[in-house]
Structure 1
Amino acid sequence: MALPRLRDELDLLPGPSLADGQPSWTLHDPVRHQFYRIDWPTFEVLQRWDLNDPQAIADAVSQATTLALSAEDVVAVVEFLGLHQLVQPEGADAPAKMAARLAQMQGSPMNWLLHHYLFFRVPLVRPDAWLGRWLPVANLFFTRSFAWMTAVALLWGLSHVVRRWESFSASLVDTFNLDGLLAYGAALFLVKLLHELGHAFTAKRFGCRVPAMGIAFLVMWPVAYTDTNETWRLTDRMQRLKVASAGILTELVIAAWATLAWALFPEGGVKSAAFVLATTSWVATLAINASPFMRFDGYFILMDALDMPNLHGRSFAMARWKLREWLFGLGDAPPEYFKPLQAKALIAFAFSTWLYRLVLFLGIALLVYFYFFKVLGIFLFLVEIVWFVWFPIRSELKVWKARWADIRQQPKSRQSVWVVLLALVLMLVPWPGRVTASALLRPAEQWPVFAPSGARIEALPFKEGASVAEGDLVMSLYVPDLVVKRAALQARLDQQRWQAAASGLDEESRKRLLVNQQSLQTARAELAGVDAEALQFAPRAPYAGTLKDVNPDLQLGQWVSRKEKLGTLIKANSPWLVETWLDEDAVQRVRVGDAAYFYKDSASGAMLRLTVTSVDQDASRVLPKPELAAQWGGHVLSRDKNNQLIPERAIYRVSLKIEDADRLHFEQSARGHITLHASWEAPASRYFRQAVSVLMQESGF
């Protein structure tokens, strides 16, 4: 077969040595600004391209070198060059082929729109000449002296942050407002501009051309970019690594000096700006740019550190091959040969990247759905799911379809089918249910003692565990405002009594008789109200029982705050019960009469057998027992609002009685965990109910 002619404008540049020790070269396509690394056999084939015959080239390479090539190896090189349009189009149908390929690359108008909605670039400047003029100034930041100064600034600044952490964290909280968000936006723009200049100047120092800088839009989110493809000309791997890491290092330098500025400057605008710059740089660097799972700086740094171009593509190919071997056992050769440990690391990296991207793209899809109005949000949500999730899966399924004849013949394929069917059965068949949650063991009848308002303790006749008779004074509290108010009302009442008694002495007082009597009744009612309020500060036992949960630090003369719990009176011979609050998913599986077990968190005492006695039909708006809140070691997710615990999801109270309670004796309330034997349920039903609930909620039904 006659070989196609190579394009005249292609550049062949020396490359670094590969991992196996063989030399490599870089093939540069200046029209599309693309670089391709080729190995030694490909280079030898290109050197003898003018022989114009695959077999002749293979024989010449085999005779002149230690390589043993065949005509098929040369044909593979021809196919590679043709696939990447590195040869000249020839023949009468060449224009038609080029037009068809262009149409295939561009796709339909809808495909073009969807692709460019997800990602497109807007070049803004051609900075190469400007970078050359300012390179002598930028070189000052690449010196070892500046690196040592930055390290000292970082340590100095961090030492101040550690010593003044409360002030630093308070500044972070204070910036969560509109002005703070605007400041962070401006700081992020500045940091990203300097980030890209770090890449650009580093590449320029090593003799690379920087043709463009601009803005790229990733799902309509603007991010700066710098075209540093010329770094593939560099044969030194460390130089490419320095270019890739220059952006992150620039942000870290900004963060170091901004942290020092925050520590040294007095309160004011400069200190606030330094704080915003420091936090923005740290967060943006560690949370975004350092990730190797997306094509950000972390990926290129890892790629250059391992000297493994196209790391994502090669690791994905290895993972897809390994997945087929796990599922079908086809016995195919791996796409590339690596050392066993290196191959395992690449496969693990690929699966981690897929999982990371799945979570990220689902999050972006949900953000798009909730950010835009519903019709557009649903459309963009579907675009995200189809483009980033379904298309990669569909691509792999096409490979399975093409290899179906081989797949169906493998014994391992049948094993995989049985495993999948078994998993589906396990997900769809109901299983005996079990619900676990934190719970509270307490007496059914108990009387909490609270301070109605701020007061001073006047009397504590009973201590912890003391027996209290019905009507006994549990404690006495003194409220100065209430005492003053009562004294004033008593004086007013005495005055009204005197006026009412003297109303018949003269004509003028007789005219005011009804008014004085009405005022006297009002004063008596107000005094009675104050006396009733005073009774709340002298609580008496409503029944005989035992006083529990008394703070041992309480002393006479000590002040207590409003609504502060001072103790609990447990009724004598009161039955005990266990109660908990379950979310709507769990409570649907619980019925009255279900069995349960309770054990204390302290692991003391025997396990208690329980029976569900009641399940509330109405959801609780607040969590009345803080012991069950997640922030206090319980299971109910809640947030504090106006000194009340508001559950994140609807919760329902479940009460349980203790079996054989007559033979058990409890001293005080205790928190523990319960295990409920709930109704049978298929594992998949919960997810199905949740999906239906979300669909109905979002559709407005």
Structure 2
Amino acid sequence: MSQAAAQTISLPPGSQSALTQALPPLREELSLHPGPKAADGSPTWTLQDPVNNRFYRIGWLEFEILRRWPMAEPERIVASLNESTPLRIDGEEIDQLIEFLASHDLLQIRGPQAIQRLLSKRAARRVDWLLLVLKNYLFFRIPLIRPDRFIEATASMVAPFWSPVAMGLYSASALLGLVLVLRQWDLFVTTFTDFFTLEGAVLMGLTLGGVKILHEFGHAYTAKRYGCRIPSMGIAFMVLWPVLFTDASDAWKLPSRRQRLAIAAGGIGVELAIASLALLAWSFLPPGILRSLSFLLATSTWIVTLMINLNPFMRFDGYYLLADSLGIANLQDRAFALGRWFLREQLFSFADPPPEDFPPKQRLLLISYAFGTWLYRFFLFLGIAVMVYYLFFKLLGIFLMLVEIVWFIGRPIGNELAAWYGRRGEMTLNPRSLRTLFGLALLLALLCFPWQGNLSAQALWKVANYARIYTPSPGQLAQMTAALDHEIVQGEELFALHSPDLDYEIARGEQRIATLSWAVSSQGLDPRLRERLTVTRQELQSELSAQQARLAERKQLTITSPLSGRIVELMSPLDVGDWLSEDELLAVVVGPGGSLIEAFVAEEDLALLEVGSTGRFYPNDPGQAPFSVRLREIDSTSSRRLAEPYLASIYGGGIPVRVDEKGALVPETPIYRVVLEQSVPQPPPRYIVPGVVRLKGARQSLLSSIARNILAVLIRESGF
């Protein structure tokens, strides 16, 4: 290659003086490979930069210019190209190619001005270490090995696993294994118990790790099969979660789309082959840890792999499979550029040409892919922001969450808004800009107009006077007079329990009291008893107190009704002789009186309510008609416990709860109890009717509702 002065690199596009300047030489280690055909059928080539491990796809024109690059003079290249090809250029294309090569450091750099240019580029690329950490803490890679020689040496040993015979065996194993499993389906779906031991958990972790290593080697050996180099394999961290990776970027130089697809699918293929063999092995292995491992490999591992790796919105296997299927390199960047162009044209009609020409159907697909990826990333990064908040201690969690939201969500949106603002002078009144203004005004109206006033809350319609009857302590049911729908009076005996353990303790206490009483009364007959008189009296007093407590507990085993009324619920089945544990619900007694509606309102909705607010109660039972209600009372403090299990999420209700160490139902978010009454009195329910109450509250805008919710979360999470 001829030598040239470095200043020729900075020639502006279209400069006519470029035709009289010598061309800068290309870097000697660059290589050019035939590429796949473009969408229009024209040939392409791949320019490889082995030092930076980068690949650039160029077209026919660029290839013809690079073929003639040793001519060193643009005038000669233009004349040769116009004379020997149907292409017609005037030198501007050479200037543009020089700019492209220079911007990607593909030219030889010589002279003080060229060195200064490199130093300037290095300074421009230098990023503060703190900013670098904030940008990359969510994802960074650590190369661990350079496996190319090992892959080259062992490729022949691995080749039989990719042969047509092996593929047939995998398919036959999957089919036969599925037939055998279907004959034992109930047993198959319950195969997981051996992992609930320490040995099982360790073995499961090692197995999953081994499968993921084989997944990566599946990519590596497939790439080596088609002559690609594997420069590195290692571990990457996504939100500090380790995942393995294989650098198979050399596949970009392959002209065959089928070969690139095979490399991208190599890892998934390995896991599917392992799953087929494991499915067949399950039917022949004895019960135990090995059978459980085969179940794991035949089910969850490959399903999770497909769900994650086939995701086209992240740069996993699915993304490269989609890119090669469409024949579009740099799919995301090109789709994003097209998506931004489409968005600007739809909003402002700038009349810009599209960044690239695609057929209409392909253009629509790329625009849809761009918007789908943006939407997916928005919720993904939002979810990651919440996750890092809970993953670290509060102060660091808040900081990293804000970094996540500002950098990965706010920054791209801000850049696009800045681009719109920078072109404000080009905005004119046209149908699309008027439509945008109307949509913006409508959005502001929806956000700011106080049109929201109704709110919903989980509620119970129940009698005002009722009592639940529980077993006071464990025992055997000795007598039962209670019956469903039986009218009873306060103090009436309903159940009698018998506790042999308690009877034994009472009898033993009586003997102990008799012995201690004799010792006190006989102290004058025995000097040793007289010496222990004080201690004996204390023991006697303690035993008398304990015996009194036992007798009181035995008295409680005779269960009476706390109020007059009717039994509306009775434990079933329940017969004399049954053994009962403590705190078992035996019956529910409903007394005379009216009814009330008890609802639980979210904290953010509390400000919208006031005593006297009206609404309607809708029972969950469709056979019962809804009715109007009026707010009578609002609790001033939140409910720390949920007394009624009917509304708890773990029992099918609508209030999220957790069970604490004492077995109480604790709401996950602050809720406030409110009491409502019927606007028009009607007969009370039999007992308790769950439902939903819809109340008319003070009207508020959607914007104020969002602000109030955010403020409530900040206040709730502000405690350190």
In structure 2, the CA distance between the partners of 1:166 and 1:237, relative to structure 1 (3 Å rule), is closer
Q: Please point out which of 484, 488, 502 is paired with 1:468.
A: 488
**Contact 1:6–1:86 (8 Å) recurs in 2:** no
Q: Counterparts of 1:168 and 1:332 in 2: how far apart (Å)?
A: 61
How many Å apart are 1:136 and its aligned residue? 1.2
Correspondence for 2:568? 548
**Contact 1:48–1:57 (8 Å) recurs in 2:** no
The superposition leaves residues 259-289 of structure 1 with CA deviations (integer Å, 9 ceiling, x where unpaired) of 6667755577766776777788447624543
In structure 2, the CA distance between the partners of 1:461 and 1:189, relative to structure 1 (3 Å rule), is closer
Correspondence for 2:354? 334
Q: Counterparts of 2:583 and 2:159 in 1: how far apart (Å)?
A: 67
1:196-595 map, 5 Å: 196-218=216-238, 222-257=242-277, 265=285, 281-282=301-302, 285-369=305-389, 371=391, 380-482=400-502, 529-530=549-550, 532-551=552-571, 553-572=573-592, 574-595=593-614
**Contact 2:146–2:232 (8 Å) recurs in 1:** yes
1:145-164 map, 5 Å: 145-151=165-171, 153-154=173-174, 159=181, 162-164=185-187
Correspondence for 2:686? 667
The superposition leaves residues 555-599 of structure 1 with CA deviations (integer Å, 9 ceiling, x where unpaired) of 444444432222211112x11011122332233433322212111
Q: Please point out which of 628, 643, 652 is paired with 1:609.
A: 628
In structure 2, the CA distance between the partners of 1:606 and 1:217, relative to structure 1 (3 Å rule), is closer
1:337 partner amino acid: D
Q: Counterparts of 1:650 and 1:325 in 2: how far apart (Å)?
A: 46
2:227 partner amino acid: G
Q: Counterparts of 2:76 and 2:576 in 1: how far apart (Å)?
A: 104
1:163 partner amino acid: D
**Contact 1:16–1:237 (8 Å) recurs in 2:** yes
How many Å apart are 1:349 and its aligned residue? 2.1
Q: Counterparts of 1:569 and 1:627 in 2: how far apart (Å)?
A: 17
Q: Please point out which of 618, 621, 646 is paired with 1:599.
A: 618
TM-score by length of 2: 0.82
**Contact 2:568–2:587 (8 Å) recurs in 1:** yes
Q: Please point out which of 74, 82, 99 is paired with 1:52.
A: 74
Q: How many pairs are equivalent? A: 689
Q: Counterparts of 1:103 and 1:507 in 2: how far apart (Å)?
A: 106
In structure 2, the CA distance between the partners of 1:409 and 1:557, relative to structure 1 (3 Å rule), is same
* Secondary structure, counterpart of 2:467 in structure 1: strand
The superposition leaves residues 359-416 of structure 1 with CA deviations (integer Å, 9 ceiling, x where unpaired) of 3334444555555566665554454444423332343234323422222444533442
The superposition leaves residues 401-450 of structure 1 with CA deviations (integer Å, 9 ceiling, x where unpaired) of 34222224445334424433443343344444222122111101002122
**Contact 2:594–2:684 (8 Å) recurs in 1:** no
1:242 partner amino acid: A
* Secondary structure, counterpart of 1:621 in structure 2: coil
1:142 aligns with 2:162: yes
Correspondence for 2:675? 655
Correspondence for 1:636? 655
How many Å apart are 1:485 and its aligned residue? 5.4
How many Å apart are 1:120 and its aligned residue? 4.9
Q: Counterparts of 1:232 and 1:452 in 2: how far apart (Å)?
A: 76
How many Å apart are 1:68 and its aligned residue? 7.2
Q: Counterparts of 2:598 and 2:696 in 1: how far apart (Å)?
A: 15
Q: Counterparts of 1:245 and 1:602 in 2: how far apart (Å)?
A: 52
Correspondence for 1:168? 191
* Secondary structure, counterpart of 1:351 in structure 2: helix
Q: Counterparts of 2:515 and 2:141 in 1: how far apart (Å)?
A: 88
Q: Counterparts of 1:11 and 1:518 in 2: how far apart (Å)?
A: 101
Query: Quick one: percent identity of the two aligned structures?
Result: 37
Q: Counterparts of 2:352 and 2:174 in 1: how far apart (Å)?
A: 52
Q: Counterparts of 1:293 and 1:116 in 2: how far apart (Å)?
A: 19
Q: Counterparts of 2:206 and 2:572 in 1: how far apart (Å)?
A: 55
In structure 2, the CA distance between the partners of 1:54 and 1:420, relative to structure 1 (3 Å rule), is farther
Q: Counterparts of 1:105 and 1:427 in 2: how far apart (Å)?
A: 42
2:167 partner amino acid: A
Correspondence for 1:622? 641
Q: Please point out which of 669, 675, 683 is paired with 2:702.
A: 683
**Contact 1:57–1:74 (8 Å) recurs in 2:** no
Q: Please point out which of 133, 137, 152 is paired with 1:132.
A: 152
**Contact 1:183–1:276 (8 Å) recurs in 2:** no
Q: Counterparts of 2:698 and 2:136 in 1: how far apart (Å)?
A: 51
**Contact 1:184–1:280 (8 Å) recurs in 2:** no
In structure 2, the CA distance between the partners of 1:110 and 1:658, relative to structure 1 (3 Å rule), is closer
Q: Counterparts of 1:451 and 1:569 in 2: how far apart (Å)?
A: 14
Q: Counterparts of 2:562 and 2:711 in 1: how far apart (Å)?
A: 50
1:569 partner amino acid: V
TM-score by length of 1: 0.84
**Contact 2:194–2:288 (8 Å) recurs in 1:** no
Q: Counterparts of 1:552 and 1:689 in 2: how far apart (Å)?
A: 48
Q: Which runs of 5 or more residues in structure 1 are unaligned? A: none
**Contact 2:475–2:498 (8 Å) recurs in 1:** yes
Q: Counterparts of 1:207 and 1:401 in 2: how far apart (Å)?
A: 50
In structure 2, the CA distance between the partners of 1:104 and 1:679, relative to structure 1 (3 Å rule), is same
How many Å apart are 1:203 and its aligned residue? 0.8
* Secondary structure, counterpart of 1:672 in structure 2: strand
Q: Counterparts of 2:202 and 2:420 in 1: how far apart (Å)?
A: 51
Q: Counterparts of 1:553 and 1:222 in 2: how far apart (Å)?
A: 54
**Contact 1:547–1:568 (8 Å) recurs in 2:** yes
* Secondary structure, counterpart of 1:433 in structure 2: strand
**Contact 1:450–1:566 (8 Å) recurs in 2:** yes
Q: Counterparts of 1:224 and 1:484 in 2: how far apart (Å)?
A: 66
Correspondence for 2:11? none
In structure 2, the CA distance between the partners of 1:101 and 1:316, relative to structure 1 (3 Å rule), is same
**Contact 2:649–2:657 (8 Å) recurs in 1:** yes
**RMSD of the TM alignment (CA)?**
4.2
**Contact 2:74–2:94 (8 Å) recurs in 1:** no
> Which has the higher mean CA deviation after the structures are superposed, 153-162 or 462-471?
153-162
* Secondary structure, counterpart of 2:493 in structure 1: coil
2:82 partner amino acid: A
Correspondence for 1:36? 56
1:605 partner amino acid: Q
1:231 partner amino acid: A
Q: Counterparts of 2:261 and 2:621 in 1: how far apart (Å)?
A: 55
